[in-house]
Amino acid sequence: MPLAALRRAAKESVSGLPREFWWLWTSTLVNRLGAFVATFMALYLTLDRGYSATYAGLVAALHGLGGVISSLGAGVMTDRLGRRPTLLIAQSSTALSVALLGFMKDPLAIAAVAFLVGMASNASRPAVQAMMADIVRPEDRVRAFSLNYWAINLGFAISSAGAGFIAEFSYLAGFLIEAVMTMVCAVVVFAKLPESRPVRTALEKESEPDVGLGTVLRDGRFMGVVGLSFLIALIFMQGSVGLPVAMGEAGFTPADYGMAIAVNGVLIVALQIPVTRFIEHRDPQRLLVISALLAGYGFGLTAFAGSIGVFALTVCVWTLAEIINAPTQTGLVVRLSPTHGRGRYQGMYTLSWSVAALVAPLMSGFVIDRFGARWLWGICAVIGTVAALGYWSLMRGLPEEETAGGVLPTPTVPAPDAVADRVPGVTG
């Protein structure tokens, strides 16, 4: 492709987004650039502190449990306190708890603080997603979410590479660097991002019922999306929990796994933006069905892998699914969320990934130990098929999304007794 065409494509990919989005994007990138703790926590506990792998797994589970608990609470805070206050509280708490974790020596203290870190670090996600939906036009949201996802992966790729060098010098330095960079994110939010929570008029308050967690739970279509998100997350997480175990049992080294999984980060950084340009205005139902099938059968193909090259090829397949699914599904969540309840809806969506983070390791370990890795990859293919059928069924009859030139109203929350009757044939 000529250089001029590449420049034009890059300009079109980033044009038209508000300045506030780019400050939020910058905060995301800085946050992920400093995400050292998640990368070397297991090594820190086993190699530096001398604890067992079982204890390291317990700490990781407590960290995940903290995220599960904070998902819904942070969603409520996002709607009640606002996006900006929730971000400031979450990021400041993360910085303080990460720094504290670096100084903990007692096993119980480490586990307790790791739980707090999980709660604090996960609390910012509903606020970020809600704020992004507030400040970006509906027709630009898929592109905006894609750019944000690209920043997450770029930052994580760089921090993962740097974490090893920092760990060789000092694990404590890694904790402190992450704490400082997270606090920088809080400063960016405080200095550059105004509150974006929409202000409801008196007429809107009278015509639209208040949104509580019960409202979200009664929204059948949205909860269906949450359930499908959980299934997709179970599949994708096998790349970090099931794949290394299976490759190890097959005689491959950690370096071999590192080479195979590195393809995931490289492809996301290289292809996320151009692929999003291709899919941006295409049918989200079809995209989600395709991504679910690619995810399930991409991991399913791992059952036939016997070399690094074939493992890398399977990673390519399910990475393409990830590139398609991430912005499309996030855009769907926003589309189904009422403006004045975005925090709670985003919190419930975040919960699906947090729960999957707890279930995926248990699932992969049980299946591999009892039946073998090939059964795990077969199950992934089945889950992907079920998710694809679910997306196809759930999105039938979904109205066209509102755009700048459109006339469709923003989705509102129906009265509780009308929830089941909103779409014929689909609850919620």
Helix and strand totals (H; E) in the chain: 18, 0
Element (H, E) at 268: helix 254-279
Among residues 165, 195, 225, the one where a domain terminates is 195
Residue 4 domain-assigned (yes or no): no
Residue 45 domain-assigned (yes or no): yes
Residue 5 domain-assigned (yes or no): no
Which of 216, 166, 131 is CA-nearest to residue 37? 166
162 shares its domain with 183: yes
- For residue 210, CA distances in Å to 26, 92, 138, 200, 207 come to 33, 30, 23, 11, 10
> What six digits make up the tokens of 410?
């923003």
Query: What residue type is assigned to position 252 of the chain?
Result: F
Range of the domain at 370: 205-397+410-422
51 shares its domain with 166: yes
Domain count, the chain: 2
228 shares its domain with 324: yes
- Note the pTM of the prediction, 2 decimals: 0.75
Element (H, E) at 406: none
Q: What is the CA radius of gyration of the chain?
A: 21
308 shares its domain with 281: yes
Asked if residue 83 lies in contact with residue 130, where contact means CB atoms within 8 angstroms, the answer is yes
Residue 390 domain-assigned (yes or no): yes
Which of 222, 205, 225 is CA-nearest to residue 337? 222
189 shares its domain with 335: no
> What six digits make up the tokens of 115?
């739980």
Cβ partners under 8 Å of residue 423, min gap 6: 221, 397, 398
214 shares its domain with 186: no
Residue 376 domain-assigned (yes or no): yes
Planar angle of CA 364, 370, 374, nearest 5 degrees: 60
Asked if residue 295 lies in contact with residue 384, where contact means CB atoms within 8 angstroms, the answer is yes
263 shares its domain with 380: yes
Residue 356 domain-assigned (yes or no): yes
The CATH number given to whatever domain includes residue 386 is 1.20.1250.20
Asked if residue 114 lies in contact with residue 63, where contact means CB atoms within 8 angstroms, the answer is yes
Residue 131 domain-assigned (yes or no): yes
> What six digits make up the tokens of 282?
């295409």
225 shares its domain with 142: no
> What six digits make up the tokens of 98?
């990460």
172 shares its domain with 284: no
177 shares its domain with 289: no
> What six digits make up the tokens of 311?
């493992």
The CA distance from 273 to 10, in Å, is 8
> What six digits make up the tokens of 142?
């898929």
- pLDDT values of the chain reduced to their tens digit, one per residue, 428 residues: 455 655 665 666 677 789 999 999 998 888 887 777 766 777 688 778 888 867 877 887 888 888 888 888 888 888 888 889 999 999 999 999 999 998 998 999 999 999 999 889 888 888 888 898 888 888 888 888 888 888 888 887 777 667 667 777 788 888 898 899 999 999 999 998 888 887 765 555 555 666 777 888 888 889 999 999 999 999 998 988 888 888 888 888 877 887 888 888 888 888 888 888 888 778 889 999 999 999 999 999 999 998 989 999 999 999 999 999 988 998 888 888 887 788 888 888 988 988 888 888 888 888 888 898 899 999 999 999 999 999 999 888 776 655 444 433 333 333 333 333 323 233 23
Which of 178, 18, 23 is CA-nearest to residue 102? 178
> What six digits make up the tokens of 256?
């071999």
Residue 164 domain-assigned (yes or no): yes
Instruction: Give start and end residues of each alpha helix (H) in 301-427.
Output: 308-336, 342-370, 373-394
365 shares its domain with 217: yes
Asked if residue 213 lies in contact with residue 79, where contact means CB atoms within 8 angstroms, the answer is no
391 shares its domain with 242: yes
DSSP assignments along 123-158, one per residue = THHHHHHHHHHHHS-GGGHHHHHHHHHHHHHHHHHH
Among residues 160, 195, 230, the one where a domain terminates is 195
3-state class of 426 per DSSP? strand
Instruction: Tell the residue number behind the tokens 């039946």, with chain if given.
Output: 371
Among residues 151, 166, 195, the one where a domain terminates is 195
